[in-house]
């Protein structure tokens, strides 16, 4: 009887639990033995395994976070510790390790595969910046969390006739800022992928005021610039009262949206089916409505293209 182990690693993303549930239930359906690894690669190195059953994953599809918990392990970068992780998998007789996480986690899986471990990756990242997939688990929920905040802040921004700068997550990726900014009607969207001109930002604010606009919403990805410093500059240049809201880790938590639950369920189940069909050392990817297999080598060597067309659309619609 084949054995599957599952771990979640790196930053948590809403929908991870739905993916765990799908893997366990699909594996159980096919008569496989299922294990979970607590605390990501750290737990793997220190033999922190638990048995997973259908009952273990009951009542979790709606929960954010991950029941297996997660961590960022610097130790795992050491080749000796990766061999220790392999030995743990061998000890438990694991045939394949499912790694659920973002770029760092998938790179960790790729490096572990070099020791002879069979790996299947499932992309989960609120940043949606993983090569080889159009969508990562957790992105839709994070965008909707930001959108809800924009809607609330817009109410008070209008009441007080203020400029609001909203900082969202994204050290190297502006995907959350772009999607939430377009959906929320932000006047300006600032992302790490593109340079910005503060004079242009202020010009758009003043243009709106001249037309009788009562407020402005500026969405800033954290990797673009300091929202607090930007707020001070904009207030000085525009002479308009400006406030800054940093959404922080609220974007990671909360019940996953229907879209994320469905994506996670599809990816988790598909991962098991692909393993049984003989696929390993690959990641599940979404290509439009279809699920595909992507070599881990291509994932770690690849990059994501920023959607300039959507960015331009957001600029046009925010006049």
Catalytic residues: 127
Beta strands in the chain (DSSP E): 3-8, 33-37, 49-52, 96-101, 119-123, 163-168, 188-190, 216-221, 242-246, 282-287, 290-295
Sequence-ordered list of residues with C-beta below 8 angstroms from that of 43, at least 6 positions apart, any chain? 7, 37, 49, 68, 69, 71
| 133 in Cβ contact with 175 (< 8 Å) | no
Residues linked to residue 122 through DSSP beta bridges, in sequence order: 100
Largest CA distance in the chain: 71
Q: Half-sphere exposure of 116 toward its Cβ, with a 13 Å CA cutoff?
A: 8
Q: What angle do CA 220, 256, 271 make, to 5 degrees?
A: 110
Report the alpha-carbon distance of residue 146 to residue 25 in Å, rounded: 32
Strand partners, 190: 220
């Amino acid at each position: 009887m084949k054995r599957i182990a599952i771990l979640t690693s790196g930053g948590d993303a809403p929908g991870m639990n739905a993916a765990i549930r799908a893997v366990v239930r699909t594996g159980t359906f096919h008569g496989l033995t299922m294990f979970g690894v607590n605390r990501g690669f750290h737990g793997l190195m220190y033999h922190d395994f638990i048995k997973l059953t259908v009952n273990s994953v009951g009542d979790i599809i709606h929960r954010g976070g991950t029941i297996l918990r997660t961590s960022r392990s610097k130790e795992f970068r050491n080749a000796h510790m990766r061999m220790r992780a392999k030995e743990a998998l061998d000890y438990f007789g694991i045939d394949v390790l499912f790694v659920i996480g973002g770029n760092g986690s998938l790179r960790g899986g790729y490096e572990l595969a070099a020791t002879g471990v069979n790996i299947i990756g499932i992309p989960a990242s609120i940043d949606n910046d993983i090569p080889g997939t159009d969508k990562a688990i957790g992105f839709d929920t994070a965008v909707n969390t930001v959108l809800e905040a924009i809607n609330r802040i817009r109410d008070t921004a209008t009441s007080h006739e203020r400029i609001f700068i909203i900082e969202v997550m994204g050290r190297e990726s502006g995907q959350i800022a772009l999607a939430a900014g377009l959906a929320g009607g932000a006047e300006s969207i600032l992302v790490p992928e593109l340079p910005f001109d503060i004079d242009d930002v202020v010009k758009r604010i003043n243009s709106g005021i001249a037309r009788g606009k009562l407020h402005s919403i500026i969405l800033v990805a954290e990797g673009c610039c300091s929202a607090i410093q930007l707020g001070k500059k904009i207030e000085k240049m525009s002479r308009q009262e400006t406030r800054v809201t940093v959404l922080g880790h609220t974007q990671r938590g909360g019940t996953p949206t229907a879209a994320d639950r469905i994506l996670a369920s599809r990816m988790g189940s598909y991962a098991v089916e692909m393993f049984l069909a003989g696929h390993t050392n690959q990641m599940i990817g979404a290509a439009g409505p279809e699920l595909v297999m992507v070599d881990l080598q291509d994932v770690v060597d690849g990059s994501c293209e920023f959607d300039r067309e959507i960015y331009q659309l957001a600029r046009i619609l925010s006049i």
